[in-house]
Structure 1
Amino acid sequence: MAEGSMIDTASQNPVFRFAPSPNGPLHLGHALSAILNHDMARSAGGRFLLRIEDIDRTRCLPEHEALIYTDLAWLGLSWEKPVRRQSEHFAEYRAALTRLIDLGLVYPSFMTRGEVKARVAAFEADGKHWPRDPDGSPLYPPDDRDLSEASRRQLIAQDVRHAWRLDMRRAMEIAGERLDWLETGDDVGGRVAADPSIWGDVVLSRSDAPSSYHLSVVVDDALQAVTHVVRGMDLFQATSVHRLLQRLLGLPQPTYHHHRLIADPDGRKLSKSQGDTGIAALRAAGATLSDIRATVGL
């Protein structure tokens, strides 16, 4: 399937985007990414978009979204409107998922996290090593991928909760020729070989979330004609999955720029889940925009 059938990014003006999730206050790492996207867009004479990635309706809250706008405006950034909110575009993600299902590249997976954990623990009890993805999570067992169509239909008819996973082996076969991407980041430059197989059969949709990050981000980037994806090095390896999905869905490939991460004094990257100091708290403590830019090395 030819890539780039939706939008020809080569004919577009440069388009950059900052895409936070409203599941907590933005921290200095977000400030670095947002400012880089904004400044690079302006330098290239391009466009700067803001996208709210709020698929997780449990953790993503309106008050966090409102604070994102406040923080970014205080950082001196301006963006095009209207802002794209993922929660308003579930039908588009479902259409992409259905296309992959129709191609026979996605299957329903029924094992719970607890069942996967037990399977891995039993396997490793004998001293063997279960394969893991770059984030350290065990790869999903092959049981559901190998189920017959009749068994799958029966389980779905019984309303057994399930996710939809990409059949990585088949997807790689269909994708065909070598996958890579153009990287202009801090630590790596040039063409980078993509190896999606290291992630195993990734989730594309769950029973409690109609799309995964992987699926929604490639659909959004294509629909918004994004030409340059600027984000942290923590997402460098995930780009392999995104390139595969772009190939399978016939979507254009942006240029990628993965920037350094902001770490705490112990060398750990900043995280909302760890309660790292947010931009709003720094502002309330008297920090200035110049202070923020200096702290993140700009």
Structure 2
Amino acid sequence: MAARDTGLTATEPASGHLGSVSRPQGPVSEQQGPVSEQHGPVSEQQGSVVVARGVRRSFDGRSVLRDLDFDLRAGEFVALVGRSGSGKSTFLRALAGLDGGVEGSLLVPQRRSVVFQEPRLIPWRRVIDNVKVGQRGAGARQAAQQALAEVGLQAHAGAWPRTLSGGEAQRVALARAMMRAPQLLLLDEPFGALDALTRIRMHVLLRDLWQRHSPAVVLVTHDVDEAILLADRVLVLTDGSFAQEVVIELPAPRRRSDPAFMALRSALLARLGVEDDAPAPAQPADVPGGSG
């Protein structure tokens, strides 16, 4: 997916552009009090499904989000990385409408889905009923079956959640999220509890679902490799502020063994205060669809 002008300054031309984040230009709703959340179609002026201005959040007097400005275009995939406590999940919860204590101005679409690190399946409902939970109408069951087919679990429609592996349960969570045809898909470390091989398979599946349905995606992750493999842009959060943006322009398929990939990885790890003194290990598979 081609990089777009988002009001963020990129300073180093390369396979990925690294730069400091500048505040987007244009009118900003500066207001006190709880976040002003608006729903609607994609902004024609900004071409964005998400427009955040001056988003703030504090806990016990400690600022966790500091006047964040953020734009997300239709169909764009953005990854948020940062140390624990940097504000990644807090910002994602604000986008999801799950935090009533957020201040600022926020434009988000009504059709949003969230996938958490835990699948959060209802144990007394079968897989297909978990997928269509909250959905009514004559076509709900058929839509749930289609969603399960897209994640390769159509044969498990009648299974109980307790019989699923961790990866299968997370596939059900993805199917449930995608059944709602979201304009905005929010992912809070959805693969963090999975083993390495399952994570790779989930990366391939997620990218396939994204390319097929074209939601805008915000992924919170601690895994720098995961961010580079999947995203159009990577934003680094430090102490509640966007400290750096990386525009990923690697060709398809993206490979961890690519020198440009390793350079991006080293730069991001350095920004996070982690020394990368060895090349990335060989992987049994990588994401086949590299540049969106």
Q: TM-score, normalised by structure 1?
A: 0.26
Determine which structure has greater relative contact order: mean sequence separation of CA pairs < 8 Å that are 6+ residues apart, divided by chain length: 1
Greater Rg by CA: 1
Q: TM-score, normalised by structure 2?
A: 0.26
Structure with a larger share of its residues in helix: 1
Structure with a larger share of its residues in strand: 2
